[in-house]
Amino acid sequence: MKKKRSGRGTSRDNKASAAIAGLPVAKNDEVIIDIMGMNHDGEGVGRADGYTLFVQGALPGEKARVKVLKTKKQYGYAKLLELVETSPNRITAPCPIYNQCGGCQLQHMDYAAQLEWKRQLVVDNLERIGKLQVQGGTAEVGMKDEFREQSTSEYSNEGVIVHPTLGMSEPWRYRNKSQVPIGVTEGGLVGGFYARGSHRIIDMETCLIQHEQNDAVVSRVKAIGRKLGITAYNEETGQGLLRHVVVKIGFATGEMMIVLVTNGDRIPQVDEWIAEIRKELPAVVSICQNINTRQTNVIFGDVTRVLWGREVIHDYIGDVKFAISARSFYQVNPAQTEILYGKTVEYAGLTGNETVIDAYCGIGTISLFLAQHAKKVYGVEIVKEAIEDARSNAELNGMKHVEFEVGASEDVIPRWKAQGVEVDVIVVDPPRKGCDPRLLETILEMQPERVVYVSCNPSTLARDLRVLEDGGYRAVEVQPVDMFPHTTHIENVALLVRN
């Protein structure tokens, strides 16, 4: 029988491999490093003899003893063992499962410091990726110059203003939608969030960034499921029924919807499910089932049916009313959404005489906000169901000067131009991958006076601003808005004007 290698032998092998690769540290080494900054995932960034290590849970300005977990040619990952010196921005995370759950990344950081870091993250991306000069000097995000890939000599001459991040006075309990994966343990049905970097479910009764009502609904639905003997879906075997419980609430109306995502058409004892939910949760006005039989980690399948109640719930952003269906996209933080859209209207410079195009319009949230201040608004979106919702929402608000069309923006907008549509402002709110290159070309051909870019990803925002700048526009200002406190995500609204 082969002898098991001792820890010392393994360590010697690690050292040898590191030496051959020219690395100053090896796996399982313990070193003390200074944390100089954070990367976009919220991991602390430090150096051991010039070699970069990313450390989950470490904050800029701290000195930490860490254990090396994994090494690559340019960088490695390490585990935080002990804080030798602590940042003044460090706080105790209030969530009891914060260290296990992967939902939040920044609860250990003071909220004011989170807002500063998010702004600096935006500035760094604009300079490094977009080659844009930012007023107020070169961003550092706590990192040294060697982290930068290009010199500032390549930047444009004009400086873009990046405003302080607009945060929340009460940055908790802000989410109006909860998507909880369901699993099973020896104790029965569980539901919560995935552990960081895995698909292991951490059972959760309280989530401090979810609306309290969502917590209550998820808890009761799990209890009812256990009582009725409902099986949980198993990702590995593809067996079991209940995959996710999705809960939506209208902050302004209090109306709630439950969506049971199932691995199959039939729900055992469905009448008992509905009766129990109605009895225990009177705020629920809609119970839906979504069927997803594919072996995928995508939450929703193609078929949705109403089990009881209405097909939609309603909510307001400002004065605009929206109908929200089981699968329609709707911003999860309504308080900050109103601020984000208000800034979009401000940057659009609307006086009531303008014609506006809203590319990637979704269910018409931004379009209808703009329509309160514009002469005519055109919205375009590739998802057919979203356009149907957008048209319904326009009708719901009596807005007859808004027109929606299904298709890719880069195909539809040139057709509008050929039909004689002349626009003053184009608003884009693309997914994380940013704008399609053909859409950017279309914008440059249309030559609106203003472009307002709403972004959920600073790196693709910076890339696309560079394209628009090279095409004759000037990025004037960027407003970061904290839509997702205690996470690493940041939304931005950018204003560009035609030179």
What local confidence, expressed as pLDDT, does residue 18 receive? 63
Over residues 151-179, mean pLDDT: 82
Mean per-residue pLDDT for 137-143?
41
Report the interhelical angle of 458-470 vs 111-128 (nearest 10°): 40
- Of the pLDDT bands very low, low, confident and very high (cuts 50, 70, 90), residue 5 is very low
pLDDT category at 17 given cuts 50, 70, 90 is low
Range of the domain at 64: 7-85
Res 287: pLDDT: 98
DSSP string across 151-192: -GGGS-SSEEEEPPPB--SS-SS-BSEEEEEEEEETTEEEEE
- Nearest to residue 424, comparing CAs of 378, 462, 476? 378
- Confidence at residue 1, expressed as pLDDT on a 0 to 100 scale: 33
Domain end among 317, 350, 370: 317
**pLDDT (average), residues 103-127:** 97
End-of-domain residue from the set 317, 332, 353: 317
Q: Are 452 and 494 in contact (CB under 8 A)?
A: yes
pLDDT value at position 68?
97
* Overall average pLDDT of the 346-350 stretch: 97
- Residues 240-258 have a mean pLDDT of 96
The pLDDT, as a whole number, for residue 140 is 38
> Distance between CA 267 and CA 271 in Å, rounded?
9
Side by side, which strands form the sheet with 159-162? 133-134, 159-162, 473-481, 491-498, 450-455, 425-428, 355-359, 376-381, 402-406
Q: What value does the CA radius of gyration of the chain take, rounded to a whole number of Å?
A: 25
Confidence of residue 146 (pLDDT cuts 50, 70, 90): very low
> At which of 279, 302, 317 does a domain end?
317
The pTM (predicted TM-score) of the whole model is 0.89
- Asked if residue 75 and residue 181 are part of one domain, the reply reads no
Gap between the Cα atoms of 310 and 89, Å rounded: 46
pLDDT at 155: 41
Rounded CA-CA distance 204/194 in Å is: 10
Question: Is 425 among the domain residues?
Answer: no
Could you tell me the pLDDT band of residue 236, with boundaries at 50, 70 and 90? confident
pLDDT digits (tens, 9 = 90+) for 48-89: 999 999 999 999 999 999 999 999 999 999 999 999 999 999
Q: What is the pLDDT of residues 465-484, one digit of tens each?
A: 999 999 999 999 999 999 99
The pLDDT, as a whole number, for residue 279 is 93
Q: Which pair of structure tokens corresponds to residue 446?
A: 């249309």
Question: Is residue 143 domain-resident?
Answer: no
Determine the pLDDT at residue 108: 98
Give the mean pLDDT of 483-495. Answer: 98
Give the per-residue pLDDT at 286. 98
Q: Is residue 114 part of a domain?
A: no
pLDDT at 293: 95
Are 106 and 114 in contact by the 8 Å Cβ rule? The answer is: yes
Which CATH number does the domain housing residue 193 bear?
2.40.50.1070
157 pLDDT tier (thresholds 50, 70, 90): low
What per-residue confidence (pLDDT) applies to 143?
36
Whose structure tokens read 């560079």?
Answer: 466
Q: Is residue 480 part of a domain?
A: no
Q: Are 449 and 498 in contact (CB under 8 A)?
A: yes
Residue 67: give its domain's CATH number: 2.40.50.140
Give the single-character DSSP code of 90. B
What one-character-per-residue DSSP string does 394-444 give? HHHTT-TTEEEEES-HHHHHHHHHHTT---SEEEE---TT---HHHHHHHH
Q: Is 456 designated active site? A: yes
- pLDDT-based confidence at 203, cuts 50/70/90? confident
Neighbouring residues of 151: CB distance < 8 A, sequence distance ≥ 6: none
- CA 292 to chain CA centroid, Å, is 23
Domain for residue 166, yes or no? no
pLDDT (0 to 100) of residue 190? 87
Intra-chain end-to-end CA distance of the chain, in Å: 77
pLDDT at 297: 84
Q: Do 181 and 313 belong to one domain?
A: yes
Q: Is residue 229 part of a domain?
A: yes
What is the mean predicted confidence (pLDDT) over 216-228? 91
Q: What percent of the chain has pLDDT over 90?
A: 81
Q: Is residue 436 in a domain? A: no
Instruction: Tell me how many domains the chain contains.
Output: 2
180, pLDDT greater than 90: yes
Tell me what the mean pLDDT of segment 19-46 comes to.
91
Q: CA torsion sign, 71 to 77 to 79 to 82?
A: positive
Coil/strand/helix, residue 349? coil
- Report yes or no on 63 lying in a domain: yes
Say if residue 32's pLDDT is above 80: yes
Report which of 307, 314, 272, 284 is spatially closest to residue 214, judged by C-alpha positions. Answer: 284
Catalytic member of 101, 288, 361, 456: 456
- In percent, how much of the chain has pLDDT > 70? 91
Task: Note the pLDDT tens digit of each residue in 260-308.
Answer: 999 999 999 999 999 999 999 999 999 999 999 998 889 999 999 999 9
**pLDDT tens track for 361-384:** 999 999 999 999 999 999 999 999
The pair of structure tokens assigned to 217 is: 């609904």
